[in-house]
């Protein structure tokens, strides 16, 4: 079965984005959805400060694994950018990948996630296989770390 994407725009609210990430990680562990529910962050900063903030982010990512990090979704780059005074635009893309015999579970997660507390205020958008934005969203998701 093809993927479905849920795109959440958190604006500049890093705290709510991290609450949403924590909620997704809890569901992945609790319901054993490791490969079926994946998320990635897309952080866009101001054009002028991108070069200045990308260099500290790379040096910070080398020190991040030494500490007991939470995930490899690029949390360090957002924290460095926020401390520099730049306000990153944070989008979270969640990919649902259920097999054909799990259509009911797929539909339930599509309905459940956008209604939950940290996600509801973030302008949720569902991108299915028939949508014109599906290819662009899929390529963006694959290109993110």
Residue-range domains of the chain with CATH: 4-58+72-143 (3.30.70)
Please compute, for residue 7, the number of CA atoms within 13 A of its CA located in the half-sphere on the CB side: 15
Tokens 């309905």 map to which residue?
111
* Whether residue 84 has pLDDT greater than 80: no
* Whether residue 71 has pLDDT greater than 60: no
Quote the pTM value. 0.72
Residue 119: count of CB within 10 angstroms of its CB: 22
Reported as type and span, the H/E element at residue 10 is strand 4-11
Chain segment 2-34, per-residue pLDDT in tens: 789 999 999 999 999 999 999 999 999 999 999
Q: What's the mean pLDDT in 46-61?
A: 45
């Amino acid at each position: 079965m093809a993927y479905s994407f849920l795109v959440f725009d958190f604006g500049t609210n890093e705290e709510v984005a991290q609450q949403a990430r924590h909620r997704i990680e809890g569901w992945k562990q609790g319901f054993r959805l490791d490969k079926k529910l994946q998320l990635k962050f897309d952080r866009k900063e101001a054009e002028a400060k991108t070069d200045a903030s990308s260099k500290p982010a790379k040096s910070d990512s080398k020190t991040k694994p030494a500490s007991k990090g939470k995930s490899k979704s690029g949390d360090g780059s957002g924290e460095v950018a926020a401390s520099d005074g730049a306000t990153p635009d944070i989008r979270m893309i969640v990919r649902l990948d259920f097999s054909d015999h799990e259509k009911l579970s797929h539909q339930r997660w599509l309905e459940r996630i956008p209604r939950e507390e940290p996600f509801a205020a973030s302008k949720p958008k569902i991108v299915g296989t028939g949508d014109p934005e599906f290819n662009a969203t899929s390529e963006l998701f694959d290109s993110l770390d």
